[in-house]
Structures are given as C-alpha cells and as structure tokens.
Chains A and B, each alone.
Chain A
Amino acid sequence: DARVTQTPRHKVTEMGQEVTMRCQPILGHNTVFWYRQTMMQGLELLAYFRNRAPLDDSGMPKDRFSAEMPDATLATLKIQPSEPRDSAVYFCASGGTSAYNEQFFGPGTRLTVL
C-alpha cells in the first residue's frame, strides 16, 4: 500500500529555532507539493517540484522558508528562524505524471512554535 510519509508528525519548538520537516513521496511519483493548512487560510500551496526541480515556490516566505529535494525519495521543508505565526499543519503530497495532478497527501506535520 503506497503512501506518502512525513516526519515528524508533531513538533513543538520555540521561536527562533530551526525546524526541518521531511517527506517521502510515493515511489514513482515525479511531483511533490508542500502545503500549509490553518483555520484562517485553509490549504495553501507553498512550493512544488517536478522531477526534483523546484517549479514554483511563490507561496513560500523566502526569507525564512526553504524547500529542497536532495533525491527522488526525500523532500524537505525548512523554517529558519521559526515564528509563532508559522504554527500550522504542513502537508506533503505527491502526484504522478498525469497532467491533472491528482495528489496523494501525507499525514501532515503539526508544528507549534511557542
């Protein structure tokens, strides 16, 4: 049963600390998405990759957020320094080669910045 995995599932940290979230996409999927979900804003796209190349990160605060795909089995989202307003659930999703981008979501990382 192929699934997207994310670690950690929960993270509590203090303001100013670095946070790294990891995602393992479904094997064979060539697109990876990072989303942030809050009650106020809903599900927002932060960045996405196709064949490991970043295609769009316009939704991401560039001064503190960075997203990378070191290899096809790992995507990372880093926040440095973290702020209380970054508290949210961060989802990773992967998709196949279809132009319609049906997405398979991971379980999310719930981040709390104190």
Chain B
Amino acid sequence: SQKIEQNSEALNIQEGKTATLTCNYTNYSPAYLQWYRQDPGRGPVFLLLIRENEKEKRKERLKVTFDTTLKQSLFHITASQPADSATYLCAPDSSGGSYIPTFGRGTSLIVHP
C-alpha cells in the first residue's frame, strides 16, 4: 500500500538559514504533491502544489522540488524567520486515480531567533 514518510523529529534551525524538509513516498507514483502548513490549534493551510512533470516550483521564499525517480519531494524555506515555525505536511495524491491528497504526518520546524 502507499506510504508517505516525513521526518518525525523536529527540525531546529537558526533564523536566516534555509530550512529543508523531506517527504518520501513509496509504492505508487502520484500525479502531484501538495505542501501545507499547520499551526497549533488550527487547520492546515495550502502552500504549494507541484505536478509530476515539474521539477521545481517557487513561491516567494518557498521552493518545492519533486523527484519522481527518487520518489521524494523537498520543501525549502529560505531566509527562515521565527514566524515560519509550524508543522509542514506533504500530501501526494492517493493512488487509484482519485487525485485526492493523502497527508503525511508532518515535520515540525522551529526557527530560533
């Protein structure tokens, strides 16, 4: 069955550095992959979507890559700020052609001033 893996350990970085979060998936080939941000006590908020035929997508300080050979997506935040501290969820679409995203467990990012 399909499996989505995100690092369960929190990522701690210093303000101004680039944060890189990893999402690995196995046993299927998603047509796209989404990234969401979730703050404590709130619902996830959509950030970026990347399609299988796109290698890279950018939005302001965010960059997402999608390597279908490695079955991996990387999510980068450049010039990180304490306000970027949150949990980041990756969501490839599920297998079976429904195009419904299936969410990973998320990785917590903590940016220290």
User: B75 CB to closest chain A CB, in angstroms?
Assistant: 16
B28 at the interface (CB under 8 A from A): no
B23 at the interface (CB under 8 A from A): no
Check B46–A100 contact: CB distance below 8 A: no
User: B93 CB to closest chain A CB, in angstroms?
Assistant: 7
Closest to B106 in A: A42
Check B99–A108 contact: CB distance below 8 A: no
A107 at the interface (CB under 8 A from B): yes
| Contacts A43-B89, A48-B100 given; does A108 touch B43 at CB 8 Å | yes
Q: Number of residue pairs across A and B with beta carbons under 8 Å?
A: 48
Q: Hey, which chain B residues are within 8 Å of A43, CB to CB?
A: 44, 89, 103, 106
Q: How many B residues are at the interface, by size bracket? A: 20 to 34
Q: Hey, which chain A residues are within 8 Å of B43, CB to CB?
A: 4, 91, 93, 105-108
B45 at the interface (CB under 8 A from A): yes
A19 at the interface (CB under 8 A from B): no
User: Main secondary structure on chain B at its contact with chain A?
Assistant: loop
Check B32–A56 contact: CB distance below 8 A: no
Closest to A42 in B: B105
Check A105–B44 contact: CB distance below 8 A: yes
| A102→B45 CA distance, assembly (Å) | 10
Q: Hey, which chain A residues are within 8 Å of B34, CB to CB?
A: 100, 102
User: A24 CB to closest chain B CB, in angstroms?
Assistant: 14
User: B51 CB to closest chain A CB, in angstroms?
Assistant: 8
| A102→B44 CA distance, assembly (Å) | 11
Q: Hey, which chain B residues are within 8 Å of A2, CB to CB?
A: none
| A8→B89 CA distance, assembly (Å) | 25
* A interface list, Cβ under 8 A from B: 4, 33, 35, 42-43, 45, 48, 55-56, 91, 93, 99-108
Q: Which 5 pairs show the lowest CB-CB distances between chains A and B? A: A105-B43, A42-B105, A43-B103, A102-B46, A105-B44
- Could you name 7 residue pairs across A and B whose Cβ atoms are closer than 8 Å? A56-B100, A99-B99, A100-B93, A101-B101, A106-B43, A107-B43, A108-B42
